[in-house]
């Protein structure tokens, strides 16, 4: 097991604000390895079928290509990812943040291509998920490119993790990204150097601006939650688009009953 060293202040910050920055979770050499794999996904050298979709469908201008590329479960296609440093270290940190019973629920890639200019609308991840009895969760958002306000770094609403889930609706196309009412005035942006990451909770309101720059904004995201809750999801056939990322629903509404 990886050794990590979060301070009591870092853990308290995560609990109070709903997010935390962790610098240099991977080294410069490792960044290059991850980028090579990521580019094979983007170029479709690694084919991902229905696991690839446009998170910005109906939100951006492009009809011909993805406005925001989302690829679910990259570790299903490149199994080595599971034992590589990012997955190992992020798991260890998530156990410090949410408990020793945390396991990886799913992983995903979200790229904003140069000048794709498409926001990821404000949302809380819980709105995408089953209404789980144990809501502990940590999502790790790793920047493989420097993440800036202009290329779409993450924004969070501090303390939103301690409040209710706001009502969500489809932001663009039915079946596409979800959103709720929130604004940049409530939020704080987190710019990241390459190889650094944020962790956020399932209820933390977040968003990112579109990429208005000439380079990619590649993010590699891992989600962790208690092993028992992963079992609970799978028993109900819920696997975060393992076989069909296009099947986004208002899950909290659908599964509450």
Ligand X SMILES: O=C(O)CCC(=O)C(=O)O
The contact set with ligand X (CB under 6 A) reads 110, 120, 125, 139, 141, 152, 206, 208, 219, 221
Asked if residues 124 and 222 have their Cβ atoms less than 8 Å apart, the reply is no
Least separation in angstroms between CB 139 and ligand X: 5
Asked if residues 91 and 102 have their Cβ atoms less than 8 Å apart, the reply is yes
Kindly tell me which of 5 and 89 has the beta carbon lying closer to ligand X.
89
Kindly tell me which of 128 and 257 has the beta carbon lying closer to ligand X.
128
Asked if residues 118 and 67 have their Cβ atoms less than 8 Å apart, the reply is yes
Kindly tell me which of 29 and 54 has the beta carbon lying closer to ligand X.
54
Least separation in angstroms between CB 70 and ligand X: 9
Which residues 6+ apart lie within 8 Å of 86 measured at CB?
Answer: 25, 26, 30, 34, 142, 220, 222
DSSP E strand stretches across 41-96:
52-54, 69-72
Least separation in angstroms between CB 25 and ligand X: 15
- Tell me the C-alpha distance between 18 and 221, whole Å: 16
- Whole-angstrom CA distances from 155 to 143, 182, 201 are 14, 11, 13
Least separation in angstroms between CB 117 and ligand X: 13
Asked if residues 97 and 6 have their Cβ atoms less than 8 Å apart, the reply is yes
Least separation in angstroms between CB 56 and ligand X: 9
Least separation in angstroms between CB 125 and ligand X: 5
Kindly tell me which of 26 and 119 has the beta carbon lying closer to ligand X.
119
Kindly tell me which of 18 and 226 has the beta carbon lying closer to ligand X.
18
Kindly tell me which of 31 and 204 has the beta carbon lying closer to ligand X.
204
Asked if residues 211 and 112 have their Cβ atoms less than 8 Å apart, the reply is yes
């Amino acid at each position: 097991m990886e050794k990590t060293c979060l301070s009591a202040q870092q853990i308290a910050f995560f609990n109070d604000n709903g997010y935390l920055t962790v610098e240099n979770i991977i080294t410069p050499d490792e960044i290059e390895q991850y980028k090579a794999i990521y580019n094979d996904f983007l170029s479709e050298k690694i084919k991902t079928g229905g696991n690839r979709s446009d998170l910005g469908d109906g939100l951006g201008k492009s009809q011909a290509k993805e406005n925001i590329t989302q690829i679910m479960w990259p570790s299903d296609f490149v199994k080595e990812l599971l034992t590589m440093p990012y997955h190992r270290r992020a798991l260890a940190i998530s156990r410090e943040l949410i408990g020793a019973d945390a396991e990886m629920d799913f992983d995903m890639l979200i790229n904003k291509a140069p000048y794709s200019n498409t926001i990821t609308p404000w949302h809380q991840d819980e709105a995408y998920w089953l209404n789980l009895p144990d809501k502990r969760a940590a999502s790790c958002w790793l920047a493989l490119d420097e993440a800036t306000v202009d290329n779409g770094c993450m924004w969070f609403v501090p303390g939103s993790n301690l409040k209710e889930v706001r009502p969500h609706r489809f932001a663009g196309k039915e079946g596409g990204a979800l959103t709720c009412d929130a604004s940049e005035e409530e939020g704080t942006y987190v710019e990241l150097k390459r190889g650094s990451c944020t962790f956020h909770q399932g209820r933390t309101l977040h968003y990112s601006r579109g990429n208005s720059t000439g380079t990619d904004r590649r993010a590699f995201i891992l989600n962790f939650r208690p092993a028992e809750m992963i079992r609970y999801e799978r028993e109900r056939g819920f696997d975060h688009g393992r076989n069909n990322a296009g099947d986004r629903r208002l899950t909290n509404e659908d599964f509450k009953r």
